[in-house]
Amino acid sequence: MPRTRLEVARLLTDTLIKSAKPKAKPYPLPREAGLFVMVYPNGSKLWRFAYTLGGRESMLSLGDYPTVSLAQARRAREDARRLVKAGIDPSAQRRAEKAANQTAAANTFRVWAQKWFEAKRGGWSTASAEKARFYLESDLLPALGDRPMAEIKRADLVGLLRKLENRGAFNAAKKCRGWLFNIFRYALVAEVIETNPATDLVVMAAAAPKSRKMPHVPERELPALLKALDGYGGAPEVRCALRMLLLTAARPGELRSMTWTDIDFDAATWSVPAERMKARRPHVVPLPAQAITILEGMRAVTGTRALVFASPYQPRKMMSENTLNVALAKLGYKGRQTAHGFRHLISTALNERGYNRDWIERQLAHGDEDEIRDTYNSAQYLVQRRQMMQSWADELDAMHKGRRVTPLRAA
């Protein structure tokens, strides 16, 4: 049946809405099947939908005009009318959706990854905590950070880990698998999710190619490596860090977290607090003269920062171990020498020279395989280790200068 002239006149139009002028008090424009615009004294015009449910009239806000167009407001009205027809209160539905969205926002992967990290970091060394943070920020959070925990599926995690494997980062994929499992388990116990999608991810793990564990060159190649370090054109922090590893046999993570307050230049020692050590006990490293010279030079580079070997790109953060390994790769040692591999190289060299095994193991900050002996052997062997590492540093100097080296044997 055709509309009457009165009905046509009461239809909302853009012209009608735009021409409505503010008055001293708010007033409504004519309704169109429950849809109307309220005009306010400040000039704002807000959409409203009036509906009746259970004998009670209610009002639903649909946004402001012209942000919400007339066509959009009509579609929103029709959606609301369908809910009313089904016996559902659209206002209550909106409140429920808002609450659900707020819950989801409070339970994203980013939120729970951070909660898990803060809960666990106290039990890790500084290097382990930084490694976990690095992979969270570089691989996990960009892919999953803003997604609600309850919406993340196992297939999402498999796809993420597959990307790591496809770029050859098999060790990173392995670590991320473990961290994902623990993050979701943490949320599961908190009753944020009902199942852990990170279980059994190892079933889908790609086989990593066989490689040498912590690759390192034989000692006879050290002279060439030392000369290659001289030609490194990157940040001085990186070159000096690599040389310090050769002079101290420290773990890369311990060296990267070195602070200026750890160094006693007068005593020529580097004291690493327990919380930064893998074994969670303090460690004193004797510094040969060559190491002191490097640190004196580093004062001009990072002396105003907390970290001796700060990241060249983010001075408040320590450099990543990957930075050191990339530098070695650029020098032609990819797959042949890693930053951690220096420990294996030095351990082999010192053992071949007949040094006391206890001195070497204490320099490496290893515990004794005999747990009972380890418990009672608290000797630091600082004097002996200082002599041992100074002799090793002098040998490196001789290698560097191309002199024929006769390895010094322990007395």
Residues with Cβ within 8 Å of 231's Cβ and at least 6 positions away in sequence, in order, are: 331
129 and 121 Cβ atoms separated by less than 8 Å? yes
Over the range 302-316, which residues count as b (16 or more CB within 10 Å of their CB) and which as e?
A: beeeebbbbbeeeee
Report the distance separating Cα 112 and Cα 118, nearest Å.
10
Secondary structure in 3-state letters for 82-121: HHHHCCCCHHHHHHHHHHHHHHHHHCEHHHHHHHHHHHHH
**Catalytic annotation, residues:** 251, 278, 340, 343, 366, 376
Structure tokens at 210: 């066989």
Helix (H) / strand (E) element for 164: namely helix 154-166
What is the SS3 assignment for 80? helix
Using an 8 Å Cβ cutoff, are 389 and 286 in contact?
A: yes
**Burial tier of 51 (Cβ tally within 10 Å: 0-12, 13-18, 19+):** buried
